[in-house]
Amino acid sequence: MKIPTIILAFCLFSCSAAYSADWPHWRGPHFNGSTDETPLPTDWSTTDHVRWSAELPGPSAATPVVWKDRVLVSSTDPKNDQLVAICFNRLDGTLLWQRSIATGIRRDSRSTFAAPSPVTDGNRAVFFYSNGTLVSYDMSGKLQWNLNIQKQYGPFAFGWTFSSSPLLFADKLYVQVLQRDVPVQGRGWADRKNESYLLALDPRTGKKLWQHVRPSNAVAESREAFSSPIPYEYDGRSEVLLIGGDAISGHDPETGKEFWRWGTWNPTRITHWRLVPSPIAGDGVILACAPTRSPIYAVKAGGQGSLKDDALAWVSKEQRAVTSDVPTPAFYDGDFFVLSKKRRCLSRVVPKTGQVKWTIQTPGRRDYEASPLAADGKIYLVNFDGLVVIVSAKTGKILREIPMGQRAESPVRSSIVAAHGNLFIRTNTKLYCIGK
């Protein structure tokens, strides 16, 4: 039985409101990198105004998620060559439980298998790892179910280490795999086509509800996406947004059926344009951040079928600073905040027109790949060295620069999150809870 759209829309609104003090998903309670939390800290160090800090066994790009008095973290444990799931007490940083997931933490030097962020709805903590392991615990750490996506639905066909964070929404658990159609370096099916898909599971049992195959005209590495599925509601219709394979698309949360699709930012089918930033939506506009130094394309929400270029609200070609190769933009205070790794700048952009209200250069010598946090009138950034930069959302003025880490073999890629009046900052070796 299909749930009416109005009920799904209500669920999206009510869940977002209920989660406002928590950070249950890698892009927060509103799935857009923002939160209503206020006030938030603006002045601290690694010792001052630290509520607590906890040692982590190893590096990971996974962002912490927070639900009430629980902080959930995916991590590596290089000493034991293991992937682990960790739960801390939000109030004092006490380790509540830690579970060993699998042996083997990486396949290449660029990333680890612990890159995807966990997700929670308060009843379960779901951890996903780039080796295909998908596991669910209750909030006390008791195993609910455990499966491996590669073993059940086919080996991953990615040149680099695959990463995509799961989504809990509309009473379903979604996992996105947008990959090559042919094997690469011995990975993927050799005797059949590798299909890209959106998978919906029952979050209570891990059983498959449906698997929607998502076609693509992209070639080779350009079929690879390291983005995550994002829900959005517009004009009474809820949808799950996917981006990758030279296209962005909106899908029915109940069936996976494609409502609409727009592409492409890659008309000549360049073969090496993998896609990293996830979709971001706000004010009736959905952003597709093309790879490397390419423009951002703003798609008008509410489309149907295969969309032409007249479905675009704007393209950032004339404003080349507005681009993002890795970080997913945030939507906050009615505007988009776009962080560019390649051009090393942060811009505030009007959704309907693409007008740039301000652009600043990001401080420091290292790259920024962690996605921005937008809250309490500020934008919080962190670079590879763990340098936290606080920017005024209104003016773009840099308010403070706070070093939290140190130069290391593994760069800091985990986004800063805010919950219950505190900031949670993950470096390679520690998780900090900042504030009162």
SS3 letters across 327-382: CCCEEECCEEEEEECCCCEEEEECCCCCCEEEEEECCCCCCCCCCCEEECCEEEEE
- Cα angle, residue 415 at apex, residues 20 and 378 outer, rounded to 5°: 60
Cβ(295)–Cβ(323) under 8 Å?
Answer: yes
pLDDT recorded at residue 109? 75
Cβ(43)–Cβ(400) under 8 Å?
Answer: yes
47 to each of 52, 253, 421, how far by Cα in Å?
A: 9, 45, 18
- Hey, is 153 helix, strand or coil? helix
Q: Which CATH class is domain 5-434?
A: mainly beta
- Predicted TM-score (pTM) of the model is 0.94
Residue 321 CB contacts under 8 Å (≥ 6 apart), including other chains: 340, 343, 345, 347, 356, 359
Q: Which long-range contacts (CB under 8 A, 24 or more apart) does 338-343 make?
A: 338/287, 338/289, 338/296, 339/368, 339/371, 339/372, 339/381, 341/367, 341/368, 341/369, 342/292, 342/293, 343/293
Cβ(428)–Cβ(56) under 8 Å?
Answer: yes
Pairing of strands 258-262, 305-306: parallel
pLDDT recorded at residue 408? 65
Cβ(104)–Cβ(95) under 8 Å?
Answer: no
- Hey, is 11 helix, strand or coil? helix
Q: Cβ atoms within 10 A of the Cβ of 380, count? A: 26
Report which of 157, 163, 109 is spatially closest to residue 326, judged by C-alpha positions: 163
Cis amide leading into 29 (omega within 30): no
Q: Cβ atoms within 10 A of the Cβ of 96, count? A: 16
How far is it, in rounded angstroms, from Cα 81 to Cα 86?
Answer: 16
pLDDT recorded at residue 409? 63
pLDDT recorded at residue 357? 96
| pLDDT of the chain, 436 residues: tens digit per residue | 444 544 444 444 444 444 559 999 999 999 999 999 999 999 999 999 999 999 999 999 999 999 999 999 999 999 999 999 999 999 999 999 999 999 999 887 778 999 999 999 999 999 999 999 999 999 999 999 999 999 999 999 999 999 999 999 999 999 999 999 999 999 999 999 999 999 999 999 999 999 999 999 999 999 999 999 999 999 999 999 999 999 999 999 999 999 999 999 999 999 999 999 999 999 999 999 999 889 999 999 999 999 999 999 999 975 556 889 999 999 999 999 999 988 899 999 999 999 999 999 999 989 999 999 999 999 999 999 999 999 999 999 999 999 998 666 679 999 999 999 999 999 999 999 999 8
Which residues are paired to 398 by β-bridges?
Answer: 391
Report which of 283, 198, 197 is spatially closest to residue 233, judged by C-alpha positions: 283
Q: Cβ atoms within 10 A of the Cβ of 16, count? A: 17
The two three-digit tokens of residue 433, written as one number: 């809870």
pLDDT recorded at residue 407? 67
Residue 168 CB contacts under 8 Å (≥ 6 apart), including other chains: 24, 25, 119, 120, 121, 126, 174, 203
Q: 232-249 b/e with 16+ CB inside 10 Å = b?
A: bbbeebbbbbbbbbbbbb
pLDDT recorded at residue 216? 97
How far is it, in rounded angstroms, from Cα 382 to Cα 403?
Answer: 9
The two three-digit tokens of residue 62, written as one number: 């996974």
pLDDT recorded at residue 2? 45
Report which of 407, 428, 424 is spatially closest to residue 53, judged by C-alpha positions: 424
How far is it, in rounded angstroms, from Cα 368 to Cα 401?
Answer: 14
239 to each of 6, 269, 273, 313, 407, how far by Cα in Å?
A: 12, 27, 26, 19, 41
Strand arrangement, sheet containing 258-262: 230-234, 237-244, 247-251, 258-262, 305-306
The two three-digit tokens of residue 129, written as one number: 């790892």
How far is it, in rounded angstroms, from Cα 336 to Cα 358?
Answer: 11
pLDDT recorded at residue 10? 44
pLDDT recorded at residue 318? 56
Domain-by-domain residue ranges, the chain? 5-434
